[in-house]
Amino acid sequence: MRELKDLQQIFRDRFPDTGLKEGAFFAPGRVNLIGEHTDYNDGFVLPMAIEKKICMLAQLRDDREIRAYSLDFDKEVVFSLLDLEFDSENMWVNYLKGVMDEIQKMDYYISGMNILFTGDIPKGAGLSSSAALEVAAAYTIDTLNELDIKPVEMALLCQRAENKFVGVNCGIMDQYISRLGKKDNALMIDCRTNEYELVPLANEDYRIVICNSMVERGLVDSEYNKRREECEKAVEFFRDTLNHRVEALRDVSIEELEEKGGELGGITLRRARHVITENNRVLVAVSALRNNDLETFGKLMTESHLSLRGDYEVSCKELDILVELALKQRGVLGSRMTGAGFRGCTVSLVHRDNVSEFIENVKKAYYQETGIEMEAYVTTPADGAGEI
Ligand code: GLA
């Protein structure tokens, strides 16, 4: 990523100084440690923000025009805040427009802006580059227009931007952690109440290693929506079957699943089983982390992977190979796919003394098996969005 002063220079060369309020902001990507496909089931997740991020420089204008320049695509797009329409040519613009649209729908008045942004979060890798772009835009607009939008409200409006404007039916996890992440901590988010608990990743001996499978496929959105529908079907069944209130799979216990799940059968049972057991794994994982019991934490990560692979069926050959290879290495306590699945990354818990050989060995073996060069990122938990 370029230095701030270089970015400021590029900004000044491109846009004339309006003399109005300006600033530089960032929002990070994320990796989810455990709690996958639980957020849209009102469940629990445990992500952390990573050091890779989007940086956004902006200055207010005295009209309602937006001039947005993507440094990475080397492309400038101009539009009016009074006329926000989907841009099928420049997909990235829709994240900005969606956020602006949602903020305006909340009845805030916002001024036009000149914007430049750049980032180092790999796209389509399941590390939430889109959520980071949304949150960076919301944070920039909020600060420069002095709107004072509360952090959770901001995460929610970014999620609505993605759901409604961009048209991706995601849950709240990615925007939430990009806005509220805290250095040295993972966040356990309760996706029903939208409250969170900080969970320190305090053990100096272990590192979080992300392996990028470098697989790109388009399947994700349609399969994601299918899983959401299957969960809805399971909710309907349990709502009719159990004699208490069931609004989401969050409300079904493992015992109830074991007792009644048989009647549900087939695919729907397996989808429900993943979500219900995964929620439980998050809670156990959080208390393991609090007790500095990383062995248990690692085991739960691996169990999560098996459940995502077998019951939820959102893994793929490459992610399975990466997990399998990871688990064969020295100093590894656990490994799993992370994010929506079908492509993207795995996350592994690796002893710091073994990190270099881990990366070297997995890279080599992955290449031998798939012919693909993977990338690895070692990261500690970073802060959520802020001013640079
Ligand atoms: C994507 C979505 C999140 C979440 C994960 C799966 O990253 O954006 O809301 O559902 O998939 O856990």
Q: Rounded to whole angstroms, how far apart are CA atoms 231 and 275?
A: 8
* 181 neighbors 48 (Cβ within 8 angstroms): yes
* Band of residue 217 on the pLDDT scale cut at 50, 70, 90: confident
* Mutation probe of ligand 1 site: the residue of 31, 36, 39 with most atoms within 8 A of C-beta: 39
pLDDT, average across residues 327-337:
98
pLDDT for res 270: 97
pLDDT tens digits along 304-321: 999 999 999 999 999 999
**Mean of pLDDT over the chain:** 97
β-bridge partners, 31: 48
pLDDT for res 320: 98
CATH 3.30.230.10 fits 4-201, yes or no: yes
Q: Is the CB of 303 under 6 A from ligand 1?
A: no
The DSSP result for 113-156, as a single string, is: EEEEEEE-SPTTSSS-HHHHHHHHHHHHHHHHTT----HHHHHH
pLDDT for res 190: 98
Q: Is the CB of 37 under 6 A from ligand 1?
A: yes
Ligand 1 centroid, distance to 348 Cα (angstroms): 18
pLDDT for res 221: 86
Q: Rounded to whole angstroms, how far apart are CA atoms 23 and 249?
A: 43
Domain boundary assignment for the chain: 4-201
pLDDT tens digits along 9-26: 999 999 999 999 999 999
Ligand 1 centroid, distance to 82 Cα (angstroms): 31
CA distances from 14 to 27, 116, 191, 196, 374 (A): 23, 9, 41, 41, 36
Residue (of 386, 250, 227, 236) closest to 311 by Cα position = 227
pLDDT, average across residues 90-99:
98
- Let me know if 62 is a catalytic residue: no
pTM metric for this prediction: 0.97
* Band of residue 233 on the pLDDT scale cut at 50, 70, 90: very high
Ligand 1 centroid, distance to 19 Cα (angstroms): 40
pLDDT, average across residues 82-109:
97
* 259 neighbors 52 (Cβ within 8 angstroms): no
* Band of residue 114 on the pLDDT scale cut at 50, 70, 90: very high
* Band of residue 72 on the pLDDT scale cut at 50, 70, 90: very high
